[in-house]
A and B are shown apart, each in its own frame.
Chain A
Amino acid sequence: MGLWVPTGAGDFTWQQSNVASTRPAAGYGASLTPGNNSKGSYVSLISSATNDVYGVLININSGATSAAGRDIIVDIGVDPAGGTSYTVLIPDLLGSCASTYGLGGGISYYFPIWIKAGSQIAARASVNNATVGTVRVVATVFGKPRDPNRVKVGTYCTAFGITAASSQGTGVTSGTSSEGSWTVLSAATSKPHWWWQLGMGCNDSTMTSALLYGADLSFGDASNKIITVSDRLFHVVSAAEALASQLVMIGCERYAKSGLAVYGRLQCSGTADSALSLAGYAVGG
C-alpha cells in the first residue's frame, strides 16, 4: 500500500483532564448546578491548559433523575487569560437525562477546536425542571501533535436547533418502522463548518427502558441532503429515565459551506418516548 502517510495528523502527545488523577466513579467529573431554563454558574473544569489545545472531549453524566424529564444543555466556556471571565466556545450541548458514568456512561462529544495555552475552561448548565439537581461534566483536552501544521483544528463551534427556553433541541417526531422525516434544525448556516456532532433530548418522565434511537444529522437543502452523522445510537438505560450514547467521531468530518440547511431525524426501536428533540453542532474556522 503505497500511500504517503503524513505524520502528525492527530498524533497528540499531550492530554489534560479534570479527572486524570481521579478514581472512576458513577458520578464522574465536575458537578454543575443548572439554572431552571437559564444557565447556572460556571464551574471550572481545567484551571489552566498546559499547552495549546487541538481537541476537546466532553462527557456529560449523572443528570438523570427517576421519574423526571430533565432536558439539559451545557455550555463550555473559555477564558484565554486564565481567569473566570468566560466566553462560550461550545454552546448548548444536549445532555438530556444523561446516565451515570457507570451505567451507560452518559453522553460524549468530541470537537477539534483550538484553545490557547493558559486558558481556563469551565462549564455551566440549564435544565428544564424546577428541581434543578446537578449534572456532571468530564473534560479532556488534547494537544502537542507531532506536526501541528498538519492537524485540522477549528476556531468556532455553532449549535443548531437549540430551544434555550426549554433547555432542549428542536422537537422531532421519531420514525418507527421507517426513518422519521427530516426536521430542519437550521434553515441556513451563516458560516462554513467542517466537523459535526449530534445531540438528542428526551423530556419524558416515563421513558421506556432499553429503547434504542438511531439519530441522523445532515446538511443540504429540501431535495438533497448529505448525512454527516449516521445512526448515532442513543439508548434508554435500564435505570429509569436515563439516556446514554457512545462517542461518535468517525465520519463526522464533512465540509459544508455557509447558507446550507441543517437537518435531523430519528428512528426508534419501539414505541417512541415523548418530547424528543435534536440539535446539531458544527466546528468551523
Chain B
Amino acid sequence: MGLWVPSGSGEFSWRADNYSTTRPATTWGTTVTFTGNTGSVANPQWGTWTQVLSGGTVSTDVFGLWLNFHDPGVPGNNQVVAAVGVDPAGGSSYTTLITDLIFQNPSLLANGGGTSYYFPIWIKAGSSIAVRGYVDSSGTMDIAVMAAVYGKPTDPASVKVGTYVTAFGVTYDTWPASGIFGVAITSGTTSEGSWTSLASSIARDHWWWQTSFLLNDATMTAGNIYNTDLAFGDASNKIIIIQDEPMRVEVNGSPTKGSWPVACERNVKAGNNLYGRIQCSGTADSNLAMVCYGVGG
C-alpha cells in the first residue's frame, strides 16, 4: 500500500482532562448546576459559568475538545441547553465558544454513558474553559461534565482545526410552553423518516459536523434506538454526512448519544441547506427534535 501518509494528522502527544486522575464514578468530572430557566424566550437565563479546565491545565494550544454530559439524577423529559466558554487570559471572564448544545436529560454514565460531542476547534494555550447552561423547567439540574482537550500534534501544520462552531436548528419560539428546542421531526419506523430541513442557506462554510437529538417525552420507551442521518444539499439532491448515528433510550428513561467522531468531516459550502432524518427501532416516542453543529474556519 504505497500511499503517502503524512505525520501528525491527529497524532496528539498531549491531552488534559478533568476526570482521569480520579476514580471512575457515576458522577465523573465537574458538576455544573444548570439553572431552571425563568428568563424570556428572547433572552434565556443562563446559569453561571463553571470552570471545567483551568488555564494552568490547558498548558498548550488545543486542537480538539471532547465533552460528555451525564447523570442528571432526575430522569425525565427535561431539555438541556449548554454552552462552552473560554477565557484566553486564564481567568473567569468567559467568552462563548460553543453555544446552544441542546440535548435531552442525559443518561447515567453507568447506564449508556451520557451525551458526548467532539469538536476539532482551536483554543489558545493558557485558556480556562467553562460550561454553563439551563433546563426547560423551573428547577435546577446538576449535570456532570467531562472535558478533555488534545494538542501537541506531531505536525501542527497538517492538522485540520476550526475556529468557530455554529448551531443549526435551534428554536426557542415555543418555549417554555411545553415546546421543543430543536426542529420537530417525525421518525420513520419500518423505513427511513422523511428529510426535515434543519437550516436553509447556511451563512458560512463548515467542515466538521455533530448532531443532537431530543425526545421530550415523559414516558420514553427504554430500549428504543434512533438512527440519525444528517445531510446537506437541496430539496432534490442530498449528500449524507453522518449516517445511522445511534441514539438510545437507556433503562432509566434517559437517552444516550455516544461520541461519534467517525466520518463527521465534510466540506459544506455556505449557501447549502441542512437536513436531518431519523428511524426508530420501535414505536417512536413523542416530541422528537433534531439539532446539528458545524465547525468551520
Our verdict on whether A and B bind, yes or no, reads: yes
Q: Which of B110, B112, B157 has the most CB of A within 10 A?
A: B110
- CB neighbours (8 Å) of B280 from chain A are 24
Interface string of B271-293 (1 = CB under 8 A from A): 00000000111000000000000
Docked pose: A23 CA to B226 CA in angstroms? 9
B227 to chain A: closest CB distance in Å?
Answer: 5
Q: Are A251 and B243 in contact (CB under 8 A)?
A: no
Interface string of A76-115 (1 = CB under 8 A from B): 0000000000000000000000001111110010100010
A230 interfacial by beta-carbon distance below 8 Å: yes
Partner of B6, one of A5, A148, A150: A150
A12 to chain B: closest CB distance in Å?
Answer: 5
Interface residues on A, range: 35 or more
Q: Are B3 and A151 in contact (CB under 8 A)?
A: yes
Additional pairs, 12, CB under 8 Å, beyond known A17-B243, A104-B112, A212-B24: A1-B163, A3-B156, A3-B157, A12-B263, A23-B190, A101-B246, A102-B223, A249-B262, A251-B12, A254-B13, A269-B23, A269-B24
B96 interfacial by beta-carbon distance below 8 Å: no
Q: Are B109 and A235 in contact (CB under 8 A)?
A: yes
Partner of B26, one of A210, A231, A238, A247: A210
Docked pose: A57 CA to B258 CA in angstroms? 14
Q: Are B26 and A244 in contact (CB under 8 A)?
A: no
A15 interfacial by beta-carbon distance below 8 Å: yes
Docked pose: A207 CA to B180 CA in angstroms? 39
Q: Which residue of chain B has its CB nearest to the CB of A54?
A: B3
B224 interfacial by beta-carbon distance below 8 Å: yes
Q: Are A146 and B243 in contact (CB under 8 A)?
A: no
Q: Are B111 and A9 in contact (CB under 8 A)?
A: no
A78 to chain B: closest CB distance in Å?
Answer: 13
Complex A-B: 6 CB contacts under 8 Å:
A9-B158, A12-B265, A103-B250, A142-B263, A231-B24, A238-B111
Q: Which residue of chain A has its CB nearest to the CB of B10?
A: A253
Q: Are A26 and B225 in contact (CB under 8 A)?
A: yes
A181 interfacial by beta-carbon distance below 8 Å: no
Interface string of A180-219 (1 = CB under 8 A from B): 0000000000000010000000000000001111100000
Docked pose: A15 CA to B150 CA in angstroms? 27
Partner of B24, one of A101, A140, A267, A285: A267
- CB neighbours (8 Å) of B177 from chain A are none
Docked pose: A233 CA to B260 CA in angstroms? 15
A177 interfacial by beta-carbon distance below 8 Å: yes
Q: Are B1 and A114 in contact (CB under 8 A)?
A: yes
Q: Which residue of chain A has its CB nearest to the CB of B227?
A: A24
Partner of A6, one of B19, B160, B225, B243: B160
Docked pose: A185 CA to B258 CA in angstroms? 28
Q: Are A11 and B265 in contact (CB under 8 A)?
A: yes
Interface string of B240-269 (1 = CB under 8 A from A): 000110101011100010111111011100
- CB neighbours (8 Å) of B226 from chain A are 24
B297 interfacial by beta-carbon distance below 8 Å: yes
B97 interfacial by beta-carbon distance below 8 Å: no
A105-B112, A210-B110, A255-B11 known; A152 vs B6 contact (CB < 8 Å): yes
